[in-house]
Structure 1
């Protein structure tokens, strides 16, 4: 019974309700004009396809499992990329919190530090005025987790993945780091590696975290039920593909 309630809830909440609304509009137009309303049906189909787990998981899975976590951690510095933050939300030791993806990256970074005792570079500034400085928030929270401040370097100027790589490259050069263990969300790793390589950081050790999907995808009834989180996941995947397309275009112009 619980699955029936979940199914109904997904149809009531966006984007399910939008799909139903567009289909109803198409039916009403057909009854009035006696011809198939192609545009509403196309819109409904597009919303449906982009908001089901089957599409979302397939698209992001191909990004997440291009790199695997290494068994040997023989780098000389851990580099964590930011992924969003709030400016003034309450926290234990101040104001501002990392978003879900950033928080997952932070947890992985802290665990890697405890295992390797390597220094940490946190890369991420404030992209918009209402967003907090990711590097400063992450630094404060890592200190709360017991990591020494002397082991943390905050790079708080970058606003994009390209700038993450450029500014991190300068810090690595100043501190004579040569082999970074790169921590970011698994879906973001491919584009990050491209940017870091372009910034002349050649020995990157990818350490993906913050996974959306299991290693092995499965298909069931739930895979075809539209929901908002799947729509968000599809958009995240499309954003990554678009970003890599932009980088490829830059190389050929």
Structure 2
């Protein structure tokens, strides 16, 4: 229920979708006796889109999330396993497709080569709410990892999870971590606070290894505009969604804190 509701609510209240829907509503109302307030509504929706598309607002929103968990020193000790959260990969026409979060995959492979004794675990099913599931993200990861020559005995795939909560619960069941083992969690930096909170709540002690940064970590993050509207809109959507997700997961009892910290 939570999964379906979260998808439907976010479709409407995603800031980009909401601004577009409000602009469309304003256009329709402009032909009625509500034309005057419709113009104000349309102007507000357009302003919101411009701010998200070109201003530094997306970085301002996402930067605190990316700063929350610094990347750990992977070489400081033996690693039992490397966990990669779903989102960066899929299958289309029988071949591997990497998304803009592909750094999760490339970093996980790098870490796997650095720690040849560690298990490499990919967790991700399908987050599709409407279409029937034919291929999961784990299928894409399996194609890629085996195609790159990683030994099959090192690989584990969890292919039933649809969100971060299920990632944590099902992965813990799959790997059955032992006390004292070191497990690295690889996901996008802006997604790491919620992920760490969920894994802690599930009783799985992992170390944060954030990747896929969308801000530079420099002072000009707060003043530098975007030159391409799709880039700004995508980052704004990811950032706002993550803040909403943190609140929703905390209220639902899925995380150990509103804003988990190291």
**TM-score interval, smaller chain:** 0.7 to 0.9
Structure 1 residues not aligned, in runs of 5+: 1-13
**Counterparts of 1:170-209 in structure 2 under 5 Å?**
170-173=173-176, 176=178, 178-201=181-204, 203-209=205-211
Contact 1:80 1:184 in 2 (8 A): yes
Residue in 1 aligned with 2:229?
227
SS in 2 for 1:215: coil
Residue in 1 aligned with 2:245?
243
Change (3 A) 1:132 1:62: farther
Structure 2 residues not aligned, in runs of 5+: 1-15, 255-262
Counterpart of 2:136 (choices 133, 137, 152) is 133
How many residues end up aligned between the 2 structures? 221
Counterpart of 2:80 (choices 47, 66, 76) is 76
Residue in 1 aligned with 2:62?
60
Once the two structures are superposed, residues 5-49 of structure 1 have per-residue CA deviations (whole angstroms, 9 ceiling, x without a partner) of: xxxxxxxxx99xx9xx99xx8xx99xxx99994223222222222
How far, CA to CA, are the matches of 2:138 and 2:156 in structure 1? 9
Contact 1:98 1:134 in 2 (8 A): no
More divergent stretch after superposition (240-249 vs 76-85): 76-85
Change (3 A) 1:179 1:225: same
Change (3 A) 1:73 1:215: farther
1:64 Cα deviation after fit: 1.2
Residue in 1 aligned with 2:170?
167
Residue in 1 aligned with 2:109?
110
SS in 1 for 2:97: coil
Contact 2:72 2:208 in 1 (8 A): yes
1:188 Cα deviation after fit: 0.8
Once the two structures are superposed, residues 194-219 of structure 1 have per-residue CA deviations (whole angstroms, 9 ceiling, x without a partner) of: 11011111x21100011111121416
- Asked if 1:213 corresponds to 2:215, the answer is yes
TM-score by length of 2: 0.74
